[in-house]
Amino acid sequence: MATAVPVLECVPNVSEGRDRPVIERLAAAVRAVPAVALADVHADPDHHRSVFTFLGPPDAVGRAALALAHAALDAVDMRRHQGAHPRIGALDVCPFVPLAGMTLEQAAAAARAFAATLGAERGLPVYLYGAAATTPARRPLPAVRAGGYEGLAARLADPAWAPDAGPARLDPRAGAVAVGARSVLVAYNVWLDSDDLDAARAIARLVRESSGGLPALQAMGVRLPSRGCVQVSMNLVDPRRTSLGRAHDAVAAEAARRGIGVRRAELVGLTPRAALEGRPPAGVGLPDLRPEQYLDTWLA
């Protein structure tokens, strides 16, 4: 894809990771929009979540995001949803990321326009976060998602947490949506050769920035029942400050201190090639990394 025109990325996270026909229908909604490239679909049955990564000209990406949103809201019923990942709605989070020829503020403007349209067309509460946030308290996604879907009714009753778009009214089927703008991040998980969730949570606490660990790193411990192991699930919020190698090595070292090995790692979506800092993919637990999983491939 040429970068002579602005390129915007969108990475919607949908609360459905098990029903393959539904996931394919959502992917098809994106593929149907001309000029948009669907770069990756990552579905996880334990998180019960699918992450769609697509990019293209800003207007086309906005149309694709809206098409996927409508398809997800038609297909997913939050009243029956249980998974390992925090979530507040069927379309849980929808970030817009400027890749080429755009500023973060322009991506934030695209996020705000999408939020206004979605809130009006679907009549559900929408919160803005990241660079699109309306207040500093709403910039961090964990703050917007605090309490989860189960606490959404109480949050909507609090005037301090009135939605940025749509009504302050709970739709039990759809929940709410967090829409934001951010820079490139890398979603990266390390699977441990253990089913000890307490160990995974302890390792996550030690490596994440909020507990004094690696800079620009978010982490949580998650059980993966279908794989018989636990995972340290991470967001490298700024892969220039904490690379894949540093994150992998920190988790592996803390696991080794507990007598636990690393089974493998997993990339969710795309990564800049620079995030590997010259290490081979196998050196960060990703021996099967494909060329199309590098963000650089789509911008060449």
> For 45-81, how does the pLDDT look when each residue is reduced to its tens digit (9 = 90+)?
999 999 999 999 999 999 999 999 999 999 999 999 9
Residue 1 confidence (pLDDT): 42
Contact indicator for 75, 26 with CB cutoff of 8 Å: yes
Given 47, 48, 81, 85, which residue is catalytic? 85
What is the C-alpha to C-alpha distance for residues 92 and 54, in angstroms, rounded to an integer? 17
Buried b (16+ CB within 10 A) or exposed e, 259-289: ebebbbbbbbbbbbeebbeeeebeebbbeeb
Q: Facing residues of 42 across strands? A: 51
* Residue 222 lies in domain: 186-299
Q: How confident is the model at residue 5 (pLDDT cuts 50, 70, 90)?
A: confident
User: In terms of domains, do 131 and 234 share one?
Assistant: no
User: In terms of domains, do 282 and 197 share one?
Assistant: yes
User: In terms of domains, do 28 and 161 share one?
Assistant: yes
Sign of CA dihedral 107, 130, 64, 295: positive
- The model's pLDDT over 158-196, given as tens digits with 9 standing for 90+, comes to 999 999 999 999 999 999 999 999 999 999 999 999 999
Residue 4 confidence (pLDDT): 65
CATH number assigned to the domain comprising residue 18 = 3.30.990.10
Predicted confidence (pLDDT) at residue 197 exceeds the cutoff of 90:
yes
User: In terms of domains, do 54 and 120 share one?
Assistant: yes
Q: Is residue 241 part of a domain?
A: yes
Q: Is residue 2 part of a domain?
A: no
| pTM for the structure as a whole | 0.95
User: In terms of domains, do 259 and 130 share one?
Assistant: no
| CA distance readout (Å), 220 to 189, 208, 211, 217 | 10, 8, 12, 10
Q: How confident is the model at residue 2 (pLDDT cuts 50, 70, 90)?
A: very low
For strands 177-181 and 126-130, give the pairing: parallel
Q: Is residue 83 part of a domain?
A: yes
Predicted confidence (pLDDT) at residue 116 exceeds the cutoff of 50:
yes
CB neighbourhood size of 169 (10 A) = 11
User: In terms of domains, do 209 and 247 share one?
Assistant: yes
H-run or E-run covering 30: helix 20-31
Q: How large is the average pLDDT for residues 247-263?
A: 98
Listed in sequence order, the residues at least 6 apart from 253 whose beta carbon sits closer than 8 Å to its beta carbon are none
Nearest to 141 by CA among 97, 181, 82: 181
The angle that helices 244-257 and 197-207 make with each other, rounded to 10 degrees, is: 130
Active site residue 81: no
User: In terms of domains, do 59 and 128 share one?
Assistant: yes
User: In terms of domains, do 164 and 194 share one?
Assistant: no
Q: How large is the average pLDDT for residues 202-223?
A: 97
Contact indicator for 78, 44 with CB cutoff of 8 Å: no
Q: Is residue 284 part of a domain?
A: yes
Residue ending a domain, choose from 131, 159, 181: 181
Q: How many structural domains are present in the chain?
A: 2
User: In terms of domains, do 97 and 177 share one?
Assistant: yes
Predicted confidence (pLDDT) at residue 274 exceeds the cutoff of 90:
yes
